[in-house]
Amino acid sequence: MATALFLATPLFHPSQTDREVSGTSVRKFNSSIFGEFRLPSCVQKGITQSCRSRSVSITSLFGRKVKAKTKRETVIPDPDYRIPIVLLGATGALVYTDNLVAAVPVGLLGLLLLVQATRVRFVFDDEALEVKVGSELKESGENAFVGGKNRWKYSTFVNWEFWWPNFPILVYFKETQTKPEGQIHFFPIIFNGKQLYDVMVERAGSSKTSGP
pLDDT tens digit sequence for 112-157? 999 999 999 999 999 999 999 998 889 888 887 777 889 999 999 9
Q: Which domain holds residue 36?
A: 11-67
Taking the CB of residue 155, how many other CB atoms lie within 10 A of it? 12
Q: Quickly count: other Cβ atoms within 10 Å of residue 158's Cβ.
A: 12
Distance of CA 108 to the CA centre of its chain: 34
How many domains, the chain? 2
Residue 158 included in any domain: yes
How buried is 85 (Cβ within 10 angstroms: 0-12 exposed, 13-18 middle, 19+ buried)?
Answer: middle
Residue 142 maps to which CATH number? 2.30.29
pLDDT, residue 172, reads: 94
Pair 126, 177 in one domain: yes
How many Å separate Cα 16 from the centre of its chain? 47
Q: Is residue 186 a part of any domain in this protein?
A: yes
pLDDT in tens, 4-21: 433 344 443 444 444 444
For residue 188, tell me if it sits in a domain: yes
| Whether residue 40 sits in one domain with residue 88 | no
Q: Which residue has the higher pLDDT, 182 or 49?
A: 182
Q: What is the pLDDT of residues 21-79, one digit of tens each?
A: 444 444 444 444 444 444 454 444 444 444 443 444 444 445 555 556 688 999 999 99
